[in-house]
Amino acid sequence: MFRAAIRLNLKARGPVSIASLHNASTTSKTLNQSQNWDVAQQLEKDASRILKVVQRRVEERERLLREDAEDQGSSAAHIQRAKTLKELEPLHQAWARWTEARSSFSETSALLEDPDPDLRALAAEERTSLTEVLSEHVKDIFPSLLVPPSATKHFSAIVELKSGVGGDEAALFVSDVLKMYTRLAAMRGFRVETVSISQLEGSKGSGGGIKEAIIEVQGEGSYDIFRWESGVHRVQRVPATESQGRVHTSTITVMVLPTSDAPEETDADFKIDEKDVKTEVMRARGAGGQHVNRTESAVRLTHIPTGISVSMQDSRSQHSNRAKAWQILRARLLDRKLQEEQAERRDNRRSIIKGADRSEKIRTYNFPQNRVTDHRIGLTITNLDAVLEGEELQYVIDELQKDHEESVMAELLNE
């Protein structure tokens, strides 16, 4: 550009001295190199906080490698180091690609001043490509790798639904949400098994309300998907029995607990001493035939240290009820442990999971306005049927996960 300008000036002004031409060319080269460096420097300046965190993690990996070379035993510390090194490996590889691209970028800046026009064109093209690589790393790759992997990614989910304020209408909405979760699970390839279900009295059949239901969503990663559903769900609609067309507000409570059939996937520090669990057997109550009154098939387990109690009477078999009760008890105690760990982190920083408070209203389903609003992230969807079908519910969960990752990233940058 500057050389073209010099040629135009030569034609307009006539002969010029060699010294003046040299000075103009030197000025052109200096300005172009400055512009080239500005692109990389501005990118590094904008992403300086992320790059510092990445560099800190890479240095941590190098330190762990040195420690690992000195300690080749099979201690718990060695096992933990090996696990951390494996988690940091993708970040180390990404940092290597970044530094290589940054070095190549510097080399192309000098080639932009080469006398050969073909070489300058190739350098300009390469520089554009390298700029995209550098930008992709700081905007997408590094942030995605810095967010720590989920510690609960191997868990399946126990989902408990209970009707709250609103009587029959709340029980009907439990049935609607249960169907919504079943559809979402099917979409994700998970298997759903009913653990227990309590129908609203006088509402037998597929169209009846449900006072309480517990299902297990089986499949790796199902807990990390369904955990965002814990909390109070509010529904606003006109009940079928409402003659005046007034909108009623009802609520249900959803609690999602982690569970796993594989002991190796559960926290090694999480163990239940059977001596701490009180077991009681009794006759089942409610409708159900002669076995309800004559057979001691119902089981109640009470974890003495925490006071957590689980009762199960769905099956006629005491053995089956006992197994289900233990499954729910383990899930509740594991969930309690995870909640306590989150509470400890909240002492120093905000919770990494928004809406983890089970008493918090997390979502409103407004039928007259065909609207679903998730209050944790302020997301509103004007297609209620699509949410209840599961498709748009997945979108809501994806947005919650994205918000969670952004929150974790913000915390890392503030460290």
Secondary structure, 3-state, 231-248: EEEEEEECCCCCCCCCCE
Name which residue leads in pLDDT, 204 or 125: 125
Give pLDDT, residue 113. Answer: 83
Cα–Cα distance measured from residue 276 to residue 201, given in angstroms and rounded to the nearest whole number: 35
Residues in Cβ contact with 114 at an 8 Å cutoff, skipping those fewer than 6 apart: 120, 123
Does residue 155 have a pLDDT over 80? yes
Please provide the distance, in angstroms rounded to a whole number, between the alpha carbons at the two ends of the chain. 46
Cα–Cα distance measured from residue 307 to residue 276, given in angstroms and rounded to the nearest whole number: 10
Q: How confident is the model at residue 80 (pLDDT cuts 50, 70, 90)?
A: confident
Kindly state the average pLDDT of the residues 209-222. Answer: 92
Name which residue leads in pLDDT, 139 or 95: 95
The three-class DSSP label of residue 165 is coil
Name which residue leads in pLDDT, 245 or 251: 251
Does residue 24 have a pLDDT over 50? no
Mean pLDDT value across the chain: 79
Is the C-alpha dihedral spanning 355, 327, 157, 179 positive or negative?
negative
Residue type, 314: D
Name which residue leads in pLDDT, 204 or 8: 204
Give pLDDT, residue 294. Answer: 60
pTM for the full model?
A: 0.66
Does residue 174 have a pLDDT over 90? yes
Give pLDDT, residue 344. Answer: 59
Give pLDDT, residue 149. Answer: 76
Kindly state the average pLDDT of the residues 196-210. Answer: 72
Give pLDDT, residue 25. Answer: 38
Q: How confident is the model at residue 26 (pLDDT cuts 50, 70, 90)?
A: very low
Give pLDDT, residue 148. Answer: 78
Does residue 377 have a pLDDT over 90? yes
Does residue 40 have a pLDDT over 90? no
Question: Which segments within 260-386 are labelled E, that is strand?
Answer: 277-282, 298-303, 308-312, 361-366, 371-374, 379-381
Give pLDDT, residue 170. Answer: 93
Does residue 10 have a pLDDT over 60? no
Q: How confident is the model at residue 205 (pLDDT cuts 50, 70, 90)?
A: very low
Q: What is the pLDDT of residues 102-144, one digit of tens each?
A: 888 888 877 888 888 888 889 889 888 998 999 899 888 988 8
Q: How confident is the model at residue 146 (pLDDT cuts 50, 70, 90)?
A: confident
Does residue 300 have a pLDDT over 90? no
In the block, residue with structure tokens 């389903």: 365
Highest mean pLDDT of the ranges 29-43, 327-341, 344-358? 327-341
Give pLDDT, residue 285. Answer: 66
Name which residue leads in pLDDT, 280 or 15: 280
Q: Radius of gyration (Cα) for the chain, nearest Å?
A: 31
Q: Are 307 and 277 in contact (CB under 8 A)?
A: no
21-30, 46-55, 77-86, 245-254, range with the lowest pLDDT: 21-30
Give pLDDT, residue 357. Answer: 46
Q: Identify which of 200, 176, 237, 180 has the alpha carbon closest to the alpha carbon of residue 389.
A: 180
Does residue 32 have a pLDDT over 50? no
Highest mean pLDDT of the ranges 8-12, 183-187, 243-247, 255-259? 183-187
Give pLDDT, residue 6. Answer: 24
Kindly state the average pLDDT of the residues 67-89. Answer: 80
